[in-house]
């Protein structure tokens, strides 16, 4: 094995060994102990044949029977003693390895910055990373080691008879075939990498045709056939590309494999003509024949395992590349906890800039503002003005390219930097609909109080939700009920309320509500943010009037700032948007 193959084999061994030692050791020990059994069987066969050839009626059968007994003992040891534990260990290691590789990828994904999770490049890398099999890497490495040592012993037996020509010839052809097979394996794995994005698209079309969330529109607009045709076209393209590469690989290997087959036949036929053959006994011929034919039959298997290991090594590079991605430094335990309900959290945004990867323009351009303790701020602007991006920056979901966002805990005239998000809560427009119980949907906002029914019910009531059965399952996929969009939003609001944070972000909190519920939601906003700092992102400028300060965004900048009355007097962007919305009600 080369360095890359040895590296992934060693790491697969260490991962499995740390998780469950017994099956790792059982598989390794049984496979290694089986190595000398085949050469020993051949030697016993040699002895048996020679004894049969020299036996006469007056001779004892004891030595012949003893050779037969020893052959039987070796077969019992190989097939029963060493053979039975192997499938059990393999099954267990397959389970452990599959669970561990999935755990490592999921855990890593949970620690990545939001920008990485949203990146198509990272998604393609993850698609390639999940192709790795820790168990297969370990098992293939053991098979290479077993076959290599076993073939080495058999070739030593052949060399004992002075038959160096077959050994040299077989090794030379094996090196050639290994080189060609390695090139073929690399071609196949490069294709596998290149097809990662297309595989994701194939799954996406399959999800569109099968998921409940898209079923209504697929049926309403008759899109089933269109999506099916696209799915089929992508699949056929994948298949054709793979067939092309496999065909080229097999053609490339045809010459060396044919050469090996021809040489194998010639070597077996010419054994009796090689130097020293006249001095060999029948048992010697049998041993030489068995050893040579076994080497010739197992050599392609060894080459195949080495080729497979090379592909595993390439997959392992993607696996490690994904696990080595830079993690989000903000995902950690809180260093400072602000007293619950205290109105002492201040947000300072200083000249921040942000540009999405692969974009040519800045989405956020030199924004600065301060939200003092207990202040309600409304953020308004047309679609595409940068509101959602700014909120993600404020919450630490995106890192700014320049500038600084600081959370300060102001106590008795002093200021302390606050890290983590224990004192910050948010209700997003695209909130998560958790297909869990009502208790879990709300309680995950503050896991420490999930068992406190009174606190959970108070949060639901404050959010305006009608749910009182905390054990009710939500989500049709798991046999639960499917609340309306507005009710889901109230549950998400209850989750945010339970956190009892000093700073609350409301991202379009009335997007899924009817006019009456919308009015109640804004009244709730006033109630919930009493004595707290809050940021309200909204398209409804009537709601913005509730804020102490309004920030108006346009093309990534804050172009206006002030109260509702002050901004109306400016006759600027805010006045224009307000008049446009007001015209719908006149």
Same domain for 228 and 346, yes or no, is no
Taking the CA of residue 239 as centre, how many other CA atoms within 13 Å lie in the half-sphere pointing to its CB? Answer: 7
Q: Which one, of 186, 203, 289, lies nearest residue 245 by Cα?
A: 186
User: What tokens does 422 get?
Assistant: 């224990």
Same domain for 283 and 351, yes or no, is no
Q: Is residue 42 part of a domain?
A: no
Is the pLDDT at 136 greater than 80, yes or no? yes
pLDDT in tens, 276-319: 555 677 787 788 888 888 888 888 888 889 989 999 999 999 99
pLDDT above 70 covers a percentage of the chain that reads: 87
Q: Is residue 288 part of a domain?
A: yes
Kindly report which listed range (17-31, 239-253, 294-308, 338-352) carries the lowest average pLDDT score: 338-352
Neighbours of 6 (CB within 10 A): 13
Q: Is residue 479 part of a domain?
A: yes
Q: What's the rounded mean pLDDT across residues 356-376?
A: 91
Classify residue 380 as exposed, middle or buried by CB count within 10 Å of its CB (0-12, 13-18, 19+): buried
CB-based contacts of 1, cutoff 8 Å, min separation 6? 9, 141, 144, 306, 309
**Range with the largest mean pLDDT of 65-69, 170-174, 257-261, 442-446:** 442-446
Q: Is 309 left (phi over 0), alpha (psi -120 to 50) or beta?
A: alpha
Query: What band does 516 get if pLDDT is binned at 50, 70 and 90?
Result: low
Q: How many folded domains does the chain comprise?
A: 3
Q: What's the rounded mean pLDDT across residues 97-104?
A: 94
Query: What band does 335 get if pLDDT is binned at 50, 70 and 90?
Result: very low
Query: What band does 543 get if pLDDT is binned at 50, 70 and 90?
Result: confident
Phi and psi angles of residue 225, each rounded to the nearest 5 degrees, phi first:
-65, -40
Helix (H) or strand (E) holding 159: helix 134-160
Q: Specify the pairing of strand 376-380 against strand 533-537.
A: parallel
pTM score = 0.78
Residue at which a domain ends, from 500, 520, 538: 500
pLDDT in tens, 455-480: 999 989 888 888 999 999 998 888 89
Same domain for 141 and 211, yes or no, is yes
Same domain for 123 and 232, yes or no, is yes
Same domain for 445 and 469, yes or no, is yes
Same domain for 463 and 582, yes or no, is no
Q: What is the CATH number of the domain that holds 544?
A: 3.40.50.300
pLDDT above 90 covers a percentage of the chain that reads: 33
End-to-end, the C-alpha distance of the chain in Å comes to 79
pLDDT recorded at residue 106: 93
Under 8 Å between Cβ of 454 and 412: no
Same domain for 24 and 157, yes or no, is yes
Q: Is residue 53 part of a domain?
A: no
Same domain for 459 and 518, yes or no, is no
Q: What's the rounded mean pLDDT across residues 89-94?
A: 93
Residue at which a domain ends, from 258, 288, 323: 323
Is the pLDDT at 583 greater than 80, yes or no? no
pLDDT recorded at residue 171: 80
Same domain for 362 and 266, yes or no, is no
Q: What is the side-by-side strand order in the sheet with 364-371?
A: 364-371, 345-354, 402-411, 414-417
pLDDT recorded at residue 101: 94
Is the pLDDT at 57 greater than 60, yes or no? no
DSSP 78: I
User: What tokens does 545 get?
Assistant: 């009037």
Residue with tokens 């079309």: 205
Q: What is the CATH number of the domain that holds 228?
A: 1.20.1560
Is the pLDDT at 263 greater than 80, yes or no? no
pLDDT recorded at residue 340: 45
Q: Specify the pairing of strand 364-371 against strand 345-354.
A: antiparallel
Is the pLDDT at 204 greater than 60, yes or no? yes
Structural domain span for residue 442: 432-500
Is the pLDDT at 334 greater than 70, yes or no? no
Q: What one-character-per-residue DSSP string does 179-236 give?
A: HHHHHHHHHHHHHHHHTHHHHHHHHHHHHHHH-HHHHHHHHHTT-HHHHHHHHHHHHH
Is the pLDDT at 384 greater than 90, yes or no? no
pLDDT in tens, 472-508: 999 888 889 989 888 888 898 889 888 878 888 888 7
Spatial separation of the C-alpha atoms in residues 313 and 138, rounded to whole Å: 11
pLDDT recorded at residue 164: 78
Residue with tokens 């700032």: 561
Is the pLDDT at 342 greater than 70, yes or no? no
Kindly report which listed range (76-85, 354-363, 383-392) carries the lowest average pLDDT score: 76-85
Mean pLDDT score of the chain, rounded to an integer?
83
Same domain for 283 and 228, yes or no, is yes
CB-based contacts of 147, cutoff 8 Å, min separation 6? 298, 301, 302, 305
pLDDT recorded at residue 271: 62
Same domain for 188 and 212, yes or no, is yes
Alpha helices, DSSP H only, in 386-452?
A: 387-394, 438-443
3-state secondary structure at position 502: coil
Residue at which a domain ends, from 323, 347, 365: 323
Q: Is residue 59 part of a domain?
A: no
Same domain for 384 and 303, yes or no, is no
Classify residue 439 as exposed, middle or buried by CB count within 10 Å of its CB (0-12, 13-18, 19+): middle
């Amino acid at each position: 094995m080369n360095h890359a193959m040895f590296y992934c084999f060693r790491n697969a061994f260490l991962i499995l060994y740390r998780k469950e030692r017994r099956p790792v050791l059982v598989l390794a020990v049984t496979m290694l102990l089986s190595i000398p059994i085949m050469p020993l069987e051949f030697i016993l066969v040699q002895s048996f044949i020679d004894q049969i050839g020299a036996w006469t009626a007056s001779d004892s059968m004891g030595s012949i029977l003893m050779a037969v007994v020893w052959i039987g003992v070796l077969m019992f040891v190989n097939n029963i003693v060493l053979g039975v534990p192997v499938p059990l260990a393999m099954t267990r290691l397959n389970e452990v390895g599959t669970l561990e590789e999935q755990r490592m990828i999921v855990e890593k994904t949970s620690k990545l910055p939001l920008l990485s999770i949203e990146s198509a490049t990272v998604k393609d890398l993850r698609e390639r990373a999940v192709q790795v099999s820790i168990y297969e890497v370990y098992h293939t490495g053991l098979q290479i080691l077993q076959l290599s040592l076993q073939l080495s012993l058999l070739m030593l037996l052949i060399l004992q008879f002075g038959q160096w020509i077959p050994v040299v010839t077989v090794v030379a052809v094996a090196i050639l075939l290994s080189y060609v097979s390695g090139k073929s394996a690399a071609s196949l794995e490069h294709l596998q990498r290149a097809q990662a994005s297309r595989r994701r698209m194939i799954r996406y079309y399959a999800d569109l045709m099968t998921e409940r969330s898209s079923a209504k529109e697929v049926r309403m607009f008759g899109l089933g056939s269109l999506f099916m045709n696209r799915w089929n076209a992508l699949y056929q393209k994948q298949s054709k590309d793979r067939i092309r590469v496999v065909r080229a690989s097999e053609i490339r290997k045809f010459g060396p494999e044919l050469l090996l087959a021809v040489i194998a036949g010639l070597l077996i036929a010419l054994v009796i003509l090689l130097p020293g053959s006249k001095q060999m006994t029948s048992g010697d011929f049998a041993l030489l024949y068995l050893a040579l034919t076994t080497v010739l039959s197992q050599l392609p298997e060894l080459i195949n395992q080495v080729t497979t290991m090379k592909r595993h090594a390439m997959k392992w590079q993607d696996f490690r590349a994904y696990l080595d991605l830079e993690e989000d430094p903000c995902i950690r335990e809180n260093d400072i906890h602000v007293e619950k309900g205290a109105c002492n959290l201040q947000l300072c945004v200083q000249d921040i800039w942000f540009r999405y990867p692969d974009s040519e323009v800045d989405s956020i351009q030199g924004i600065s503002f301060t939200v003092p303790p207990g202040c309600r701020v409304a953020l308004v602007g047309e679609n595409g003005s940068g509101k959602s991006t700014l909120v993600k920056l404020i919450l630490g979901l995106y890192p700014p390219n320049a500038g600084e966002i600081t959370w300060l805990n102001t106590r008795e005239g002093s200021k302390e930097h606050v890290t983590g998000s224990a004192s910050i809560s948010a209700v997003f427009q695209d909130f998560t609909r958790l297909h869990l119980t009502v208790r879990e949907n709300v309680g995950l906002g503050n896991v420490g109080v999930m068992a406190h029914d009174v606190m959970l019910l108070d949060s639901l009531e404050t959010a305006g939700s009608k749910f009182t059965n905390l054990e009710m399952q939500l989500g049709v996929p798991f046999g639960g009920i499917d609340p309306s969009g507005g009710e889901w939003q109230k549950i998400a609001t209850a989750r945010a309320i339970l956190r009892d944070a000093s700073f609350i972000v409301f991202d379009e909190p009335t997007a899924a509500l009817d006019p009456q519920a919308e009015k109640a939601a804004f009244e709730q906003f006033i109630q919930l943010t009493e004595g707290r700092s809050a940021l309200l992102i909204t398209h409804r400028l009537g709601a913005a009037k509730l804020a102490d300060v309004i920030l108006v965004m346009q093309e990534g900048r804050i172009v206006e700032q002030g109260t509702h009355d002050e901004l109306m007097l400016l006759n600027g962007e805010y006045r224009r948007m307000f008049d446009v919305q007001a015209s719908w009600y006149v």
